[in-house]
Chain A
Amino acid sequence: MNLLFIAWRNFRYRALSSFLTTLSLMLGVGLVVMVMAIYGIISEAFVRNASVGYNLVVGPRGSALQLTLNSVYYLSQPIENLPYTEYMEFFPQEERAEMVRTYGGDPALGQRDGHYAGYVAGGYAIPLALGDYFGDFRVVGTTPEFFEKLRHGPDVDQPFSFRHGRAFEAYTPENQYFECVVGSRVAAQSGLHVGDTMNPTHGDPEGKGHGQGFQVVGELAPTGTPNDRAVFVNLEGFYLLEGHAKPLEEDAVIEPPERDPDDERPPLLMIPEREVTSILVRNGNLMFAPGMQNRINESGQAQAAAPIGEINKLMSAIVGPLLSALLVITLITCIVAAFGVLVSIYNSMNDRRRDIAVMRALGARRSSVTWIILFESLIIAVVGGAAGWFLAHAAIFSAGSFIEQQTGVQVGLFTVTQYEWLILPFVILLSLVAGIVPAMAAYRTDVGSNLSA
Chain B
Amino acid sequence: MLNIVDLVKKFQQPGGGELTVLNVPRFQMADAEQVALIGESGGGKTTLLHLIAGMLSATSGSVCVDNLELTKLSEQGRDRFRAATIGYVFQTFNLLPAFTALENVKLGMTFGRGGVDADRAMNLLDRVGLADRAHYRPKQLSVGQQQRVAIARALAGQPKLLLADEPTANVDPASADSVLDLIINSCQQDSIALLMVTHSMDVADRFSRIDRLEDINRIAALHHNSAS
Contact = CB atoms under 8 A, between A and B. Distances in A.
| A and B: interacting chains | yes
Given A453-B90, A453-B91, A363 B55 contact: no
A360 B55 contact: yes
Given A1-B106, A9-B98, A13-B98, A362 B83 contact: yes
B111 interface: yes
Contacts of A12: 98
B153 A362 contact: yes
Contacts of A363: 79-80, 82-84, 86, 111-112, 157
A452 B84 contact: no
A364 to B, nearest CB: 5
B161 to A, nearest CB: 13
B173 interface: no
Interface stretch (A280-288, A351-359, A393-401): A351-359
A357 to B, nearest CB: 8
B101 to A, nearest CB: 13
B19 interface: no
A1 B107 contact: yes
Interface string A413-453: 00000000000000000000000000000000001100111
Given A362-B153, A363-B80, A10 B98 contact: yes
A334 to B, nearest CB: 28
A444 to B, nearest CB: 12
A453 B94 CA distance: 9
B97 A362 contact: no
B110 A1 contact: yes
B133 interface: no
Contact of A358 (B91, B94, B109, B116): B94
A9 B99 contact: yes
Nearest to B97: A13
A448 B76 contact: no
Given A1-B106, A9-B99, A448-B55, A365 B76 contact: yes
B53 interface: yes
A376 to B, nearest CB: 11
B92 A453 contact: yes
Given A447-B55, A448-B55, A359 B165 contact: no
Contact of A361 (B80, B82, B91, B97): B82
B98 A365 contact: no
A362 B99 contact: no
A296 to B, nearest CB: 75
Contact of B116 (A1, A360, A448): A1
B214 interface: no
B33 interface: no
A453 B165 contact: yes
A151 interface: no
Given A1-B116, A9-B103, A361-B82, A366 B75 contact: yes
A453 B46 contact: yes
B52 to A, nearest CB: 12
Given A448-B50, A452-B94, A453-B166, A361 B88 contact: yes
B108 interface: yes
A143 B112 CA distance: 84
A368 interface: yes
The CB with the most chain B CB atoms within 10 A, among A354, A361, A451, is that of: A361
A322 to B, nearest CB: 46
A81 B103 CA distance: 82
B96 interface: yes
Contacts of A361: 53, 55, 82, 88, 94
Contacts of A452: 90-92, 94
Contacts of A448: 47, 50, 55-56
Contacts of A9: 98-99, 103
A368 B53 CA distance: 18
A364 B79 contact: yes
Nearest to B56: A448
A273 B170 CA distance: 108
User: Which of A1, A363, A368 has most chain B Cβ within 10 Å?
Assistant: A363
Given A451-B90, A452-B91, A453-B91, A362 B110 contact: yes
Nearest to B96: A355
Nearest to A367: B76
Given A363-B83, A453-B166, A368 B46 contact: no
Interface string A346-385: 0000000011001111111110100000000000000000
Contacts of B83: 362-364
Contacts of B76: 365-366
B90 A364 contact: no
Contacts of A364: 79, 83, 110-111
Nearest to A12: B98
A445 to B, nearest CB: 12
Contacts of B53: 361
Interface string B95-126: 01111000100111111100010000000000
Contacts of A366: 75-76, 79
Contacts of B91: 452-453
A355 B99 CA distance: 11
Contacts of B88: 361-362
Given A359-B107, A453-B166, A354 B79 contact: no
A361 B79 CA distance: 8
Contacts of B106: 1
A49 to B, nearest CB: 56
Given A364-B110, A365-B111, 12 more contacts: A1-B106, A9-B98, A9-B103, A12-B98, A355-B98, A359-B96, A361-B82, A362-B107, A363-B86, A365-B79, A448-B47, A451-B50
20 contacts: A1-B106, A1-B110, A1-B116, A13-B97, A354-B94, A358-B94, A361-B53, A361-B55, A362-B108, A362-B153, A364-B110, A364-B111, A365-B76, A365-B111, A368-B111, A448-B47, A448-B56, A451-B50, A452-B91, A453-B90
9 residue pairs, one from A and one from B, having the closest CB atoms? A363-B83, A453-B91, A13-B98, A363-B111, A447-B55, A365-B79, A364-B111, A363-B82, A358-B94
